[in-house]
């Protein structure tokens, strides 16, 4: 058996980025059909490498599964370390197991800078898992490349969370005491059928199976920083990777396990052996669960991932019911006792404004900068050779607005709204969206300078023969 770098080091330190990449190369070399997927380099110049492992049964369409670890580098290292174990298992399995009908891309070291620098951020001091609206970093662009080119049907993003929060919760004498958390992509722009299936079909099974193995499991609760805060699930915006993945047409999930305090005394370095075991158990449960539901998942996605239902632009959390409470285990730092404490339960998602999905968008000013943005995100566009009259509304300043007849000048960009990422495109270009690029200073300045707005939503059918194609979808 090929020892992982962590095993070879006898759990005395974390694996280095170079060791992890080398281990993936060994697995690729010994596994028929497997190959490395080079994804460029990090902000600090370190290689970004994934492993692609094909399905063994060519008689059925494989379920494409993307597994991601260590977006937060050495601060949350166990998910990536466990994915090396899982990669070893998946490349060694017999033809009658999950490898028969599942195809995997495994990206265990999504932030090698953070791993090398003992940080949660990359070499540019950016939190990668907040960068999926603008894609400013090479690491977030690499992950989006996997979403666009591998087109996964299922995604798992493996994280850890510090149980001891010295600058916040610890000041009140407590630390968190959860063991495993799962959550699903929850952006309200994701087609409703996909959100329902993830939340009400897959998520309960994942939690029940982990619990049956003897590990307490719960749906993800947003980081507890104070005993007086309200309890919600995870962030709703597209800047989080799991929501970006969900808006790209996948059933996407978060896995989170606790990270023990760095200063504690453990059988292994930072208790990494125990942390990896927790992660690996949950990852195995996830793979087994989606493998059993391969046909149902593929049918669901075929029917709904390109839904044209009205697009909800924003949402927030509200009270689950008047006075509702959520009881969570918390560990008292003074004596280690676990207590169950009550938090105001605000896990109900309150939807904001919705719009019909337009046929296309027109960008009538700042075309060079907007073209760079579209290309970075992989959205096709065409350049209008002559002015045209279209029927639509201004999308740049408000979520709605009455459609009217408008003259679109020559040189404008025509951006068709189509495919499984159509809803993501609309969320990025509609200023009323909580995931809009116009929520960021660089693009907000463009919007202000344009007066009424320079992004138009076309409510008519897409015309043909518009002009020069400058960017073609892969």
- pLDDT, tens digit (0-9, with 9 covering 90-100), for 413-463: 999 999 999 999 999 999 889 999 999 999 998 887 666 789 999 987 434
- Domain residue ranges in the chain: 5-350, 354-471
Element spanning 412, H or E: none
Helices (H), 247-366: 272-292, 294-304
Helical pair 272-292 and 294-304, crossing angle rounded to 10 deg: 70
Element spanning 218, H or E: strand 217-219
Q: Looking at residue 347, what DSSP letter applies?
A: -
pLDDT at 392 over 60: yes
Element spanning 197, H or E: helix 192-197
pLDDT at 472 over 60: no
Distances (CA, A) of 249 to 182, 203, 239, 374: 19, 18, 16, 18
Q: Residues 294-318: what's their mean pLDDT?
A: 96
Give the per-residue pLDDT at 447.
82
How far is 171 from 167, CA to CA, in rounded Å? 7
pLDDT at 467 over 90: no
Q: Strands, DSSP E only, in 83-126?
A: 102-107
5-350 has CATH 3.40.50.720 classification: no
Q: Cα 278 to the chain's mean position, in Å?
A: 21
Are 408 and 390 a contacting pair, CB within 8 Å? Answer: yes
DSSP for 309-328, please give it.
Answer: SPEE--EEEE-SSTT-EEEE
Are 128 and 89 a contacting pair, CB within 8 Å? Answer: no
pLDDT-derived band at 159, boundaries 50, 70, 90? very high
Give the per-residue pLDDT at 404.
83
Q: Looking at residue 129, what DSSP letter applies?
A: G
The angle subtended at Cα 422 by Cα 417 and Cα 424, nearest 5°, is: 130
Q: Looking at residue 170, what DSSP letter applies?
A: G
Give the per-residue pLDDT at 468.
46
Give the per-residue pLDDT at 397.
53
Q: Tokens 């791993």 map to which residue?
A: 115
pTM of the model: 0.95
Over its C-alpha atoms, the chain yields an Rg (Å, rounded) of 23
Q: Looking at residue 99, what DSSP letter applies?
A: G
pLDDT at 396 over 80: no
pLDDT at 315 over 70: yes
> Is the dihedral angle over the CA atoms 368, 373, 375, 376 positive or is it negative?
positive
Q: Strands, DSSP E only, in 27-72?
A: 35-41, 47-53, 63-69
Name the token pair of 224. 């507890």
- pLDDT, tens digit (0-9, with 9 covering 90-100), for 351-388: 999 999 999 999 999 999 999 999 999 999 999 999 99
- pLDDT, tens digit (0-9, with 9 covering 90-100), for 234-259: 999 999 999 999 999 999 999 999 99
Give the per-residue pLDDT at 395.
83
Are 468 and 383 a contacting pair, CB within 8 Å? Answer: yes
Q: Cα 202 to the chain's mean position, in Å?
A: 17
Are 406 and 391 a contacting pair, CB within 8 Å? Answer: yes
Exposure of 154 by Cβ count < 10 A (0-12 exposed, 13-18 middle, 19+ buried)? buried
Helices (H), 100-154: 112-116, 138-149
* 3-state helix vs strand vs coil in the chain, percent to 5: 35, 25, 40
- pLDDT, tens digit (0-9, with 9 covering 90-100), for 6-33: 999 999 999 999 999 999 999 999 999 9
Q: Residues 156-184: what's their mean pLDDT?
A: 96
pLDDT at 470 over 80: no
pLDDT at 465 over 50: no
Q: Strands, DSSP E only, in 409-472?
A: 413-416, 455-458, 467-471
SS3 100: helix
SS3 407: strand
Q: What contacts 114, CB < 8 A, 6 or more positions away?
A: 70, 72, 73, 74, 75, 120, 121, 122, 128
Q: Strands, DSSP E only, in 63-219?
A: 63-69, 102-107, 154-162, 174-176, 180-184, 217-219
Among 180, 136, 176, 130, residue whose Cα is nearest residue 159:
180
How far is 312 from 465, CA to CA, in rounded Å? 31
Give the per-residue pLDDT at 60.
87
Q: Cα 41 to the chain's mean position, in Å?
A: 20
């Amino acid at each position: 058996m090929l020892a992982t770098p962590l095993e070879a080091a006898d759990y005395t330190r974390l694996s280095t980025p170079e060791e992890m990449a080398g281990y993936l190369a060994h697995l690729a070399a010994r596994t028929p059909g497997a190959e490395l997927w080079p994804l460029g380099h990090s902000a600090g110049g370190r290689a970004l490498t994934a492993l692609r492992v094909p399905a063994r049964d060519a008689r059925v369409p494989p379920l494409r599964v993307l597994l991601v670890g260590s977006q937060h580098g050495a601060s949350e290292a166990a998910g990536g370390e466990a994915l090396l174990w899982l990669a070893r298992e998946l490349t060694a399995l017999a033809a009658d197991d999950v490898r028969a009908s599942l195809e995997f891309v495994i990206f265990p070291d999504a932030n090698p800078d953070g791993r090398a620098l003992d940080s949660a951020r990359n070499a540019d001091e950016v939190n990668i898992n907040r960068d999926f609206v603008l894609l400013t970093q090479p690491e977030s662009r690499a992950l989006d490349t996997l979403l666009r080119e591998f087109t996964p049907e299922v995604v798992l993003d493996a994280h850890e969370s510090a149980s001891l929060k010295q600058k916040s919760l610890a000041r009140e004498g407590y630390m968190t005491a959860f063991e495993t958390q799962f959550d699903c992509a929850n952006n309200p722009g994701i087609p409703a059928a996909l959100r329902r299936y993830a939340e009400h079909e897959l998520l309960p099974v994942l939690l029940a199976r982990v619990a049956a193995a003897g590990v307490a499991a719960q749906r993800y609760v947003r980081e507890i920083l104070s005993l007086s805060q309200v309890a919600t699930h995870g962030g709703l915006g597209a800047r989080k990777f799991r929501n970006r993945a969900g808006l790209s047409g996948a059933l996407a999930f978060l896995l989170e396990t606790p990270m023990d305090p760095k200063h504690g005394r453990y059988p292994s370095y930072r208790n990494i052996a125990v942390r990896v075991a927790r992660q690996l158990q949950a990852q195995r449960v996830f793979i087994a669960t989606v493998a059993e539901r391969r046909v149902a998942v593929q049918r669901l996605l075929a029917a709904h991932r390109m839904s044209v239902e009205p697009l909800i632009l924003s949402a927030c959390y509200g009270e689950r019911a008047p006075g509702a409470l959520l009881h969570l285990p918390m560990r008292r730092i003074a004596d280690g006792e676990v207590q169950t404490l009550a938090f105001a339960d605000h896990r109900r998602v309150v939807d904001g404004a919705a719009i019909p999905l337009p046929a296309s968008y027109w960008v009538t000013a700042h075309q060079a900068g907007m073209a760079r943005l579209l290309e970075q995100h992989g959205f096709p566009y065409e350049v209008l050779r002559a002015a045209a009259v279209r029927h639509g509304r201004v999308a740049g300043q408000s979520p709605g607005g009455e459609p009217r007849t408008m003259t679109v000048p020559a040189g404008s960009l025509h951006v068709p709204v189509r495919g499984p990422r159509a809803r993501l495109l609309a969320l990025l270009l509609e200023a009323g969206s909580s995931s809009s690029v116009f929520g960021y200073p660089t693009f907000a300045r463009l919007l202000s300078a344009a007066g009424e707005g320079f992004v138009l939503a076309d409510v008519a059918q897409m015309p043909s023969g518009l002009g020069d194609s400058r960017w073609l979808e892969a």
